Structure 1
């Protein structure tokens, strides 16, 4: 059994990795976009910059390579993390010479694209480490940290670094970003990955895992039933928020402050608390709680969707919505990790989470198109219905396949497909 100190070290490593991973992402998608727009860059060009993010749903294409190859001396996934985390720092430092990014947009976008590829790959390795070091009872906590870390990273990268840029200039902002990211490199260097007790799969088998992960009991119902309903509903509603606020007369500064900073704080807390709640009350209970909260908060957004957006009530509704969305994200990630097998953890978790990302991207686009035809309130109401259906299907899934932790440390009532050699590891349902 793992000792508490080992688990704490694993959680600390994952926290540092996830936070530093999102620092640059937050800067590119929020901070750099604001800097470029302030310099006169067109919205069309900014749209192309945001399209770099589409690399993330495609990371499943090379995830099997990380499960197949790795150094036994340095640690299978640690060897990847050392290279990738170093690459993230160097990519950020490469931005430093371009103190006028508007005038050198081509090289800046190219470096940003390279950073996104590195961060997506680093995420595969970090998730694989999480699959291996988190037990059934700590998976919720680990995934709560992951989701909360994404908000914190975006908050620092998209907010704090922009403030530094505004006061001190481009180079200090980039150096701060690189220094914060380097903290993750120090943590990885000190991390000691346990030798792989499970076998290292062949390349062909690693790629076959992209499909075999879905053959596990209940995995298809979860992946193609629960995940699309929840993510399409929540994603469509969330896509309406910013344009609805603008249409209601909010200034861009207020929109950015509220959506990027104010409501992120309760979302970070919701991510951490929901992770602890999963460990204490189970996946199904937190799924229902988060789902009900998201449906209610979406209904509370209907006045905004109809053009009525008083500050206090709107901020409260948005904070409730994002917090509930965060709770459901943590549950989805946790069950995805339940289905991730130790010897192909990077591939399994990546392919399952990538499907959710695709659903979110498509939902955002479809929600805006539908709103142009039917109006914001109709789309928001439909989104609430989809989330509710997703929760119902999720409860059916969990009742059938179970989320109770058995005395042997495994999750569920059906025999796992793959059993790890470590008795504290939890195999997939």
Structure 2
């Protein structure tokens, strides 16, 4: 006879008394604050100090460490600070550095130097990304399964609160306190969070941690790629939120072109969106805890796909603030609900021996999918019109649902979605020359494809403007880039090619020459 599950309220009271969950939730404040500072408060501060908008935009490139944190995450899986254990020690170091960097910002608050601000911004982003690596790994290692859903929900809410505190709240306080005192106050908040880090419970020691830097870099890739159906799993991580990301890429210009003024758009995306995110995040925690990860993923997948129909309503009716507020509230709540189950899934996919590196890889995969929907979204909206574009985003969610059914049919727990799975038996090793040649060839093709796609999109944009199709000229420009943009395109393609080559090499090494009966994914 099966036991009756406790009520949602009883479950919430139980986990709320957990030191583990409270620690994970509170530490998300110091995870969200740097992002709010860099993307919201600092541009406003620089603008008030008469730094031109082009320079402010270029300074946004200093945010790059958040997107590439997987590159140095193996170092944090390998080396242990001298105090507070593997994870809390790194979190404490990063909180102290963020305090110092906030004070440095305060010292230059009255007369910002562009070069110094760029360096400090990059340092904040790098330190914050390192904090996130250690913090995410800590959460994965310290939380038992029954607390993960509520932890993801709570940390999502407090992460958002941290962003607002260091972003919008800082902008509101600066006119009365001054930017110097505001930056000092933000540094003080990091200091207030130090006791949380110091007294947070230590996760259990994980056997089998990498003993060398080479193992820390290589084993997380090989261990993950040796899992059954790994290619389908990667596709699922990339595609699960594709429809939602595609629809969200152009919301602000869409609303403006539909005739909504900046104030209404700001209220809809700010206050209404914040409340909807709060409600959706809490609901996601309850749904995941009560129904399990599998069912919550289905609820989230259906909700985030169907909620895009609200944008269709905005596209076909006369401008109405009520319609806009309702559509964005439903979409924001649905997206937040889906993110909780998906966040729990990513935690469970992670092998705790390499939690820093593997979770950074998973979040980077999600970020890649979100980043690369921008150009095709613009082209599709331009070709189809707003109504048909948003209608298209609904079936775009279907491939993710098909893969979800592969791993978690409705009513079942996810199969094959665990970091504790045994790897497939490794086949006969490929010759080293084959691995190297395949990796190099794949990397070159990936880099070339990235360049061609980038320039094709740029050329098509010019063609739509009646300027012809200067595709060949754009490719020649990349050979000897004459502008920062050209150099950035080339550098991005090289990085993409290197990452792709490493992934191919790791896949071949992890799988070997699989016998026909053992092939999977």
> Shorter-chain TM-score: what band?
0.7 to 0.9
* 3-state SS of paired residue (1:403): coil
2:428 matches 1:417: no
Q: Shift in Å at residue 193 of structure 1?
A: 1.4
2:118 matches 1:113: no
1:138 to 147, 158, 175: 147
Query: Are the aligned partners of 2:312 and 2:390 in contact in 1 as well (CA < 8 Å)?
Result: yes
Task: Provide the C-alpha distance between the structure 2 equivalents of 1:92 and 1:144, rounded to a whole number of angstroms.
Answer: 28
2:192 to 176, 183, 194: 183
Structure 1 segment 126-275 matched on structure 2, within 5 A? 126-194=135-203, 196-202=205-211, 203-208=213-218, 209-224=220-235, 226-275=236-285
- CA displacement 1:209-233 (0-9 Å, x = unmatched): 1342233234432322x23223332
- CA displacement 1:135-158 (0-9 Å, x = unmatched): 222222222223333322222222
2:113 matches 1:104: yes
Task: Provide the C-alpha distance between the structure 2 equivalents of 1:192 and 1:414, rounded to a whole number of angstroms.
Answer: 22
Question: Closer, same or farther in 2 for the Cα pair 1:254/1:138, shift >3 Å?
Answer: same
* 3-state SS of paired residue (1:99): coil
- CA displacement 1:226-253 (0-9 Å, x = unmatched): 2322333212211211112222333434
Tell which deviates more after alignment, 196-205 or 319-328. Answer: 196-205
Q: Which residue of 2 aligns with 1:422?
A: none
Task: Provide the C-alpha distance between the structure 1 equivalents of 2:317 and 2:15, rounded to a whole number of angstroms.
Answer: 52
Task: Provide the C-alpha distance between the structure 2 equivalents of 1:178 and 1:72, rounded to a whole number of angstroms.
Answer: 24
Q: Shift in Å at residue 306 of structure 1?
A: 5.4
Q: Shift in Å at residue 159 of structure 1?
A: 1.4
Query: Are the aligned partners of 2:280 and 2:335 in contact in 1 as well (CA < 8 Å)?
Result: no
Task: Provide the C-alpha distance between the structure 1 equivalents of 2:119 and 2:182, rounded to a whole number of angstroms.
Answer: 19
- CA displacement 1:325-348 (0-9 Å, x = unmatched): 122222222111111111111111
Q: Shift in Å at residue 173 of structure 1?
A: 2.1
Query: Are the aligned partners of 2:16 and 2:22 in contact in 1 as well (CA < 8 Å)?
Result: no
2:281 matches 1:310: no
Task: Provide the C-alpha distance between the structure 2 equivalents of 1:306 and 1:154, rounded to a whole number of angstroms.
Answer: 34
Higher relative contact order (CA 8 A, sep 6+): 1
* 3-state SS of paired residue (1:201): coil
- TM-score, normalised by the number of residues in structure 2: 0.72
* 3-state SS of paired residue (1:326): helix
Task: Provide the C-alpha distance between the structure 2 equivalents of 1:27 and 1:193, rounded to a whole number of angstroms.
Answer: 29
Q: Which residue of 1 aligns with 2:397?
A: 387
1:376 to 386, 401, 405: 386
Q: Shift in Å at residue 59 of structure 1?
A: 0.6
Task: Provide the C-alpha distance between the structure 2 equivalents of 1:257 and 1:414, rounded to a whole number of angstroms.
Answer: 41
2:374 to 364, 368, 387: 364
- CA displacement 1:308-363 (0-9 Å, x = unmatched): 44212211211211221122222222111111111111111111111101111111
Larger of the two Rg values belongs to structure = 2
Tell which deviates more after alignment, 141-150 or 53-62. Answer: 141-150
- CA displacement 1:36-65 (0-9 Å, x = unmatched): 445555443343233333322211111111
Task: Provide the C-alpha distance between the structure 2 equivalents of 1:391 and 1:199, rounded to a whole number of angstroms.
Answer: 35
Query: Are the aligned partners of 1:244 and 1:304 in contact in 2 as well (CA < 8 Å)?
Result: no
Task: Provide the C-alpha distance between the structure 2 equivalents of 1:399 and 1:133, rounded to a whole number of angstroms.
Answer: 29
Q: Shift in Å at residue 11 of structure 1?
A: 1.3
Cα RMSD after superposing both structures: 2.8
Task: Provide the C-alpha distance between the structure 2 equivalents of 1:5 and 1:284, rounded to a whole number of angstroms.
Answer: 21
Query: Are the aligned partners of 1:52 and 1:116 in contact in 2 as well (CA < 8 Å)?
Result: yes
Task: Provide the C-alpha distance between the structure 2 equivalents of 1:414 and 1:114, rounded to a whole number of angstroms.
Answer: 32
1:328 to 333, 338, 362: 338
Question: Closer, same or farther in 2 for the Cα pair 1:404/1:195, shift >3 Å?
Answer: closer
Query: Are the aligned partners of 1:16 and 1:183 in contact in 2 as well (CA < 8 Å)?
Result: no
Q: Which structure 2 residue ranges, 5 or more long, are not aligned?
A: 1-13, 424-521
* 3-state SS of paired residue (2:408): helix
Q: Shift in Å at residue 72 of structure 1?
A: 6.3
